[in-house]
């Protein structure tokens, strides 16, 4: 018989002030996690049970998709990171250490190098491919600012999988199998999620999706369409361009105007009494080793990931004040496309074409130019989709309008191509005996982050509300007064019967006041609570659903069947 008095569940009434979000507060208050250091947590017994249920769901779906589990080391020799070029590419986020022989190692933040060097050494024929290998393991990333409890840690649990194929079509198939497995995993876990198109980022490759758990505290913005299934993260979302019909004919000639100390869009619109969409913002960027002038409409925002992808660049940053001054002769705030006498690219977002009678910086301190018309008063190198998508924009893939939501990334699936097989020499002999590079995909799930996301999406003012599929236990059995023999005996009888029926029961045998036990039960958040009171004399107990608060009076001999039926309905 499992008794709550013997399990370490140190519940709290109050939490430290640095716990800002619901899931962080509840992890601490419900005794699920304890911080050892910033971004480093102990998973307490209740949390471990949830993690194991999430992992079981992951294993079942990964195995069903044909992946096979292995376990790679966390300690990774620097050599393989030097071969991939990532030893230098990553900064302090990569946790490094020297072993006793003073050889450099990394604590693994991910395992592309490890798995690729393994498969390079163990597989060299097309007959042995495709392969999909995965592990569920602790990862280390020295985040500059760990926060939000288990959502952004420096040590966390990840399921990471890697697929190896002989052809692009093979990769597409492996990728789709993982995409479908992730959809099943997050559905079974009970998360409200969306798969959103994402940018491949530094890891390269094409076609990558993030699985986002929708929640207000999410750091990522998702743009999705009110109609159809288009969804993308802000970095990636495409903006469709529809030229605005009306082009006024007689726009006066461009004219320089004195705008003393008017630098920002707000100051300019106020000073000139115009709307932000009549201003053309000029931004000077350093893209790898060259300067670029980028133009966007005053009411839009530049998406620097789109800029980076246009140049397939490694680094993209705003130019410094002195770089701006050397290029334009003026400080930031007065930059414009007219009179730039250097041969640099001038890129403009598509919507700049609609600014027929616009205002730009004059490249002279305290001066702007009005009545400016792109194409008449200045030329651009190219018009591109360079701005961030906004709410209300058209769905780029069909009908409907774009709406924003916030989310936490709980999964990420990538098409890697040959980035790592090339760097590490993972080749295979094809059916003609020719050596080819393996084609890879990689697929991650943040397991400990998923636990936090489930709490974030399933809680109320009294505590956590666990979905049945991942709840630490299914039923809480609570005698109102353990000193009353009958209540204790009935509670133990019910606990045994439910356990015999294969359910997981937490029996609160503590000699606490009922109110305290009920508060703890609501905090811990098991799906059902059975209260044994003096009603037991009439052969009745109360069954209460944590999610809805609905209660039922049930005859003791009917409890097991009733509870089994109820558990199939509580998350519907």
User: Which residues of the shown chain bind ligand 9G3 in the complex (CB under 6 A)?
Assistant: 86, 90, 93-94, 109-110, 141, 160, 203, 412, 414, 442-444
The smaller minimum CB distance to ligand 9G3, of residues 446 and 479, is found at 446
Task: Give least dist CB 416 to ligand 9G3, A.
Answer: 8
Task: Give least dist CB 64 to ligand 9G3, A.
Answer: 19
Task: Give least dist CB 93 to ligand 9G3, A.
Answer: 4
Q: Which residue is nearest to ligand 9G3 (CB)?
A: 444
Structure tokens at 435: 């050596």
Task: Give least dist CB 386 to ligand 9G3, A.
Answer: 25
Task: Give least dist CB 237 to ligand 9G3, A.
Answer: 20
Task: Give least dist CB 90 to ligand 9G3, A.
Answer: 4
Q: Compute CA 522 distance to the chain's CA centroid, rounded to the nearest angstrom.
A: 28
Task: Give least dist CB 86 to ligand 9G3, A.
Answer: 6
The smaller minimum CB distance to ligand 9G3, of residues 33 and 94, is found at 94
Pick from 412, 347, 409: nearest CA to 378: 347
The smaller minimum CB distance to ligand 9G3, of residues 143 and 366, is found at 143
Task: Give least dist CB 459 to ligand 9G3, A.
Answer: 28
The smaller minimum CB distance to ligand 9G3, of residues 75 and 382, is found at 75
Q: Mapping DSSP to helix (H, G, I), strand (E, B) and coil, where does residue 258 land?
A: strand
Neighbours of 53 (CB within 10 A): 21
Contact predicate 234/388, CB 8 Å: yes
The smaller minimum CB distance to ligand 9G3, of residues 203 and 403, is found at 203
Neighbours of 9 (CB within 10 A): 16
Task: Give least dist CB 180 to ligand 9G3, A.
Answer: 17
DSSP string, 437-474: E-EEEEEEEEHHHHHHHHHHHSEETTEE---GGG-S-S
Q: How far is CA 469 from CA 52, 347, 567, in A?
A: 11, 51, 10
Q: Mapping DSSP to helix (H, G, I), strand (E, B) and coil, where does residue 134 land?
A: strand
Q: Supply angle C-alpha 8, 463, 55, rounded to 5.
A: 65
CA distance 555 to 379: 83
The smaller minimum CB distance to ligand 9G3, of residues 384 and 453, is found at 453
Task: Give least dist CB 187 to ligand 9G3, A.
Answer: 20
Structure tokens at 556: 């003791």
CA distance 10 to 30: 7
The smaller minimum CB distance to ligand 9G3, of residues 413 and 543, is found at 413
319 φ, ψ (degrees, to nearest 5): -65, 160
The smaller minimum CB distance to ligand 9G3, of residues 111 and 194, is found at 111
The smaller minimum CB distance to ligand 9G3, of residues 141 and 476, is found at 141
Beta bridge partners of 256: 369
The smaller minimum CB distance to ligand 9G3, of residues 141 and 368, is found at 141
Task: Give least dist CB 454 to ligand 9G3, A.
Answer: 20
CA distance 322 to 331: 8
Task: Give least dist CB 295 to ligand 9G3, A.
Answer: 32
Q: Mapping DSSP to helix (H, G, I), strand (E, B) and coil, where does residue 545 land?
A: strand
Task: Give least dist CB 414 to ligand 9G3, A.
Answer: 6
State the angle between helix axes of 45-64 and 168-189 in degrees (0 to 180), rounded to the nearest 10. Answer: 140
CA distance 320 to 77: 38
CA distance 374 to 296: 12
DSSP state of 6: G
The smaller minimum CB distance to ligand 9G3, of residues 94 and 543, is found at 94
CA distance 31 to 47: 8
CA distance 222 to 404: 6
Cis peptide bond upstream of 130, omega within 30: yes
**What is the 3 state secondary structure string of 266-292?**
HHHHHHHCCCHHHEEEEEEEEECCEEE
Contact predicate 62/134, CB 8 Å: yes
Count of alpha carbons within 13 Å of 446, Cβ hemisphere only?
26
Task: Give least dist CB 327 to ligand 9G3, A.
Answer: 34
The smaller minimum CB distance to ligand 9G3, of residues 88 and 343, is found at 88
Beta bridge partners of 408: 213
The smaller minimum CB distance to ligand 9G3, of residues 94 and 335, is found at 94
CA distance 438 to 421: 6
The smaller minimum CB distance to ligand 9G3, of residues 236 and 387, is found at 236
């Amino acid at each position: 018989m499992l008794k709550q008095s013997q399990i370490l569940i140190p519940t709290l009434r109050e939490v430290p002030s640095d716990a800002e979000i619901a899931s962080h507060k509840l992890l601490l208050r419900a005794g699920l996690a304890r911080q050892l250091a910033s971004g480093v947590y102990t998973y307490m017994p209740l949390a471990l049970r949830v993690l194991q249920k999430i992992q079981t769901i992951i294993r079942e779906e990964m195995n069903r998709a044909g992946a096979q589990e292995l376990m790679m080391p966390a300690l990774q020799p620097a050599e393989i990171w030097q071969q991939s070029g990532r030893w230098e590419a990553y900064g302090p986020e990569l946790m490094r250490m020297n072993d006793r022989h003073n050889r450099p190692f990394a604590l693994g933040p991910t395992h592309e190098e490890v798995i690729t060097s393994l498969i390079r050494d163990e597989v060299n024929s097309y007959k042995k491919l495709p392969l999909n290998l995965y592990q569920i393991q602790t990862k280390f990333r020295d985040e500059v600012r760990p926060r939000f409890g288990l959502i952004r840690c420096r040590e966390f649990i990840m399921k990471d999988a890697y697929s190896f194929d002989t052809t692009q079509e093979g990769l597409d198939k492996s990728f789709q199998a993982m995409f479908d497995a992730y959809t099943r995993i997050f559905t079974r876990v009970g998360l409200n999620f969306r798969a959103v198109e994402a940018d491949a980022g530094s890891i390269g490759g094409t076609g990558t999706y993030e699985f986002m758990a929708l929640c207000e505290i999410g750091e990522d913005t998702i743009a999705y369409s009110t109609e159809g299934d288009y969804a993308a993260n802000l970095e990636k979302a495409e903006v469709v361009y529809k030229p605005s019909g009306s082009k006024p004919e007689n726009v006066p000639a461009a004219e320089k105007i004195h705008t003393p100390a008017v630098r920002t869009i707000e100051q300019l619109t106020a000073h000139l009494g115009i709307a932000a969409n009549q201003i053309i913002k000029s931004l000077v960027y350093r893209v790898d080793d060259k300067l670029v002038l980028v133009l966007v409409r005053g009411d839009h925002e530049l998406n620097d990931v789109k800029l980076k992808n246009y140049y397939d660049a490694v680094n993209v940053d705003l130019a410094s004040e002195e770089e701006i001054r050397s290029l334009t002769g003026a400080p930031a705030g007065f930059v414009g496309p007219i009179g730039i006498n250097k041969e640099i690219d001038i890129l403009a977002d598509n919507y700049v074409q609609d600014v027929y009678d616009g205002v730009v910086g004059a490249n002279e301190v305290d001066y702007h130019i009005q009545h400016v018309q792109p194409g008449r008063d200045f030329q651009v190198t190219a018009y591109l989709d360079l701005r961030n998508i906004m709410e209300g924009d058209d769905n780029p893939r069909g009908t409907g309008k774009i709406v924003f939501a916030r989310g936490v990334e709980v999964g990420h699936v990538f098409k890697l191509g040959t980035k790592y097989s090339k760097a590490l020499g993972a080749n295979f002999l094809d059916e003609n005996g020719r050596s080819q590079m393996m084609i890879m995909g990689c697929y991650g799930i943040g397991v400990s982050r998923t636990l936090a996301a489930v709490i974030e999406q399933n809680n109320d003012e009294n505590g956590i509300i666990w979905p049945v599929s991942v709840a630490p236990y299914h039923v809480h059995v609570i005698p109102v007064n353990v000193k009353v023999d009958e209540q204790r005996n009935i509670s133990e009888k019910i606990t045994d019967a439910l356990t015999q029926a294969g359910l997981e029961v937490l029996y609160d045998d503590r000699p606490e006041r009922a109110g305290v036990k009920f508060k703890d039960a609501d905090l811990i958040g098991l799906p059902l609570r059975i209260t044994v009171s003096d009603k037991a004399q009439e052969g009745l107990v109360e069954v209460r659903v944590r999610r809805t608060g609905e209660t039922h009076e049930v005859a003791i001999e009917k409890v097991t069947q009733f509870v089994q039926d109820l558990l199939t309905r509580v998350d519907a």
